[in-house]
Each structure stands twice: as structure tokens, then as C-alpha cells.
Structure 1
């Protein structure tokens, strides 16, 4: 799964990385949680554009958010069949940039959990996402979810799920608004190469959403 992540790359670097024609102003964030606004990348007639959306998908038929599940993750295996995600999967796909994400490993006794920070060895991560628009109390809300898949060999000792991370060569296919065959899209949603990723233990302080700052991603061994 993916329930907490960081995005601390400068705006200029994200523009270059995604060849984006527009990108909102952003502050570095090291403890991004569901229901907050996050950066998504979509294709448009003018090119790739960055915009902010609520993390936690709100289906277009929803009239309120209080009784909805958070829907901050969507399982790759059920996107084509689950009514909650099916239409977005076929025509409203996006990328969610991240510097890295967090996952918690249970102790052998199961009484505590150790957080890990997972990132790419080179450049931002690009999570596969879906987006929707809904009108709640006469206000249009754009929202998104991050797709998950089985864990890679690197991640498997920590958790059995991980976000789908898309390499640059498939971005055009994923971001296309065309109704591509389900099988072609599903084939992209694979565990990311373990050889291109790295991870380390970080402080349990990241468990509190109110905590923020670059110290959250520092390895425990570097924190004295």
C-alpha cells in the first residue's frame, strides 16, 4: 500500500523531469497524508500539466465525503472490474510524483512497527494514479488515488504491497486519454525494479501527521 510519502524536489526540476508546460508552486513536504492536496501530472492538449488534487478518490456520483472510504489506494488487479475505479482507469489516468514513500514493518512480536523510507536511486518516483471530478455542495473537487501492486523483492520483507512506479518509457501510454485495451494498461502495472530502488529505517516520528521536515527521511544511523 501507500499511505504516506514525500515530495521535496524543486518545482524547476519537476518541470524538467516531466516536460511540463505548467506546474503549481509548492513547498517541500516530507509527510504527505491522505485527504491533503497532492501534485498530479496529466496530459492536456497543450502538453503535460501539473495540478493539485485531493488524495483520496471521490467518485463523480458522490454527494458527500463523510461516509466514503478514503480510497487513497486502488489495487491494480481490480481496476478494470471495480465500478469505483473502472471509468477513471479507462480515461482519467495520471502520475503522482514523489521523492519517496514510507512503509512500516511489523516486529516479530507484532507489538511495534518500524518505518522505512523507500526511494529511487536516481530521480523522482512516478506513481501510477487515477483522478476524478465530483461536485459536493456546489463545489467541484478534483481527487485522485495511487495504484498499488504486489511488492518487489526489495519491499517484500517489509510489506506485501507497494505503489506502482512507472518508468519514463511508458508515461505517454499511461497518460493518454485514449481508451486503450484494459490488458495493455494492466500490463504496465508491475512491481518496480528492486535494483533501481533503495530503502532505510527512519524515525517513528513520521507516524504523526503533524510532524514535518527533512529529518523524517534521514536514516536512523545518521540521527545520532
Structure 2
């Protein structure tokens, strides 16, 4: 599962990191509480190079009559993605990378209280989530949409949730984007346990209206530090 992300890296730094040409309509950063249906930064191959573009987080299949005509598809399961009608063509031909500084996951107490945790890379580098994208055609023109590919959690991340985003290392970016031949399916596996660290954060982030850098500040504890 991946239901909230944070992006603190400036757009020009993201463009440089991924060797991508930035679009003019990229969302504002930093944003410490990016929610489903918000606009996110996306790296995709285009022509002879890469582009850093804006897309709606929430994949819309072509047969939806409106963007809200069916389930909100913010994630695509790696184990079934190739066989799902909504995702099969996209994973073959429209793969992308969704950059993030970190993502949130929730653990539930015995009383049903949801406690948020914030995950980042131990080495401080940005996260690069495997994604897929789709242009949904409407009377007003195409709406670019995307979903994060998820897989089963490694032991560290699994202490909080049984799913995690597919995290791509730099050497895998070209292969996932289709720039270096086949083999993308082999990349849809959990990240090594040493990749991530996590800390508890304030429950204020449970609200999709919450803003500010205090949302990612640690409270207490650590998972797999």
C-alpha cells in the first residue's frame, strides 16, 4: 500500500537527478502531505529523452465515463498487474517513475487507532517508485493519470504494513522506463531491508488537510534503523 507521500526536492533538482526535461505545470513543492487525486511529479520517457511531467495520482482506465466512475486506482499490485484489464497495457508500454522524499504508512492499535509512520531512504536519496500512467480521454482533452506499483513488504516494512511501493535503484531506472530492453518484471520485488528507515510521526497527518514540515518530524521509536 502507498496512500500518502511527501516531496521536498525542488522540481529543477528532480529534473537534474533523472536527466529529464521539466514541464511548465509541475506541482508546487515542498508538499508534506500529497494525497490521492493530487497532482504529482512523474518521470516518463518521451521521444529521445525523459520528461518530468505532472499527473493525477489515481489511474483512470479508458472505459471510465468520469474520473470517479469506478474504484480509485492509486496502486497497482505487482503480482497481478500484467493480467488486470485496467493495467495490462500500461505496464507493457507506459511505465513511469514517481519521485518522492518519503511515504506514510499506518499501523492500527488493538483499539483501532491509526498510528502513522514515515518511511525514507537510509542514504538520504529520493525514493523512485515504479509507476504506470494512462491518458484518460475526455471532452475537455486528455487527463494524465498514474498509479504506484506495489509489492509485498520486506521484513522491516512489514512490521507496519504488508505492502510497500516498488522502489527502483538508479541502475534500474532505464530498464523500468523501457529504455534498456526487457526485464522490467524482474524489478517488481521488495527493496532490500537495508534500504529504508521509518519513524513515528504525529497523527495530524491522518487529515488530508494537514500541511507543513512538522508532519514528517519523528515522535518516537524506529523500525529497522
For 1:217, the equivalent position in structure 2 comes to 216
For 1:120, the equivalent position in structure 2 comes to 121
* Contact in 2 for aligned 1:11/1:23 (Cα 8 Å): no
TM-score, normalised by the number of residues in structure 1: 0.92
Say if 1:198 and 1:45 are closer, same or farther in 2 by CA, change over 3 A.
Answer: same
Question: Cα distance, 1:77 vs. partner?
Answer: 0.4
* Contact in 1 for aligned 2:9/2:29 (Cα 8 Å): no
For 1:65, the equivalent position in structure 2 comes to 67
Question: Cα distance, 1:17 vs. partner?
Answer: 1.3
Question: Cα distance, 1:177 vs. partner?
Answer: 6.6
Aligned pairs for 1:49-88 (under 5 A) are: 49-88=51-90
Question: Cα distance, 1:111 vs. partner?
Answer: 1.9
Aligned mates of 2:217, 2:180 — CA distance in 1 = 41
Aligned pairs for 1:93-172 (under 5 A) are: 93-107=95-109, 109-121=110-122, 122-172=124-174
TM-score, normalised by the number of residues in structure 2: 0.91
CA-to-aligned-CA distance 1:14-69 (integer Å, 9 cap, x gap):
12211112255532100000011111000122411100001100112322123211
* Contact in 1 for aligned 2:12/2:22 (Cα 8 Å): no
Does residue 59 of structure 2 align to residue 38 of structure 1? no
Aligned mates of 1:48, 1:120 — CA distance in 2 = 24
RMSD over aligned CA atoms reads 1.7
Aligned mates of 1:188, 1:153 — CA distance in 2 = 18
Secondary structure of 2:83 counterpart: coil
Task: State the 4+ residue runs in structure 1 displaced beyond 6 angstroms.
Answer: none
Aligned mates of 2:78, 2:197 — CA distance in 1 = 23
Q: Number of residue pairs matched?
A: 218
CA-to-aligned-CA distance 1:91-129 (integer Å, 9 cap, x gap):
00000000000000111x142121000001221000000
Secondary structure of 2:187 counterpart: coil
For 1:197, the equivalent position in structure 2 comes to 196
- Tell me, which stretches of 5 or more residues in structure 1 are unaligned? none
Aligned pairs for 1:173-192 (under 5 A) are: 173-176=175-178, 180=182, 184-192=183-191
For 2:49, the equivalent position in structure 1 comes to 47
CA-to-aligned-CA distance 1:115-152 (integer Å, 9 cap, x gap):
00000122100000000011123331010000100001
- Tell me, which stretches of 5 or more residues in structure 2 are unaligned? none
Secondary structure of 1:88 counterpart: helix
Say if 1:153 and 1:221 are closer, same or farther in 2 by CA, change over 3 A.
Answer: closer
For 1:5, the equivalent position in structure 2 comes to 5
* Contact in 2 for aligned 1:133/1:141 (Cα 8 Å): yes
Say if 1:5 and 1:37 are closer, same or farther in 2 by CA, change over 3 A.
Answer: same
Secondary structure of 1:156 counterpart: helix
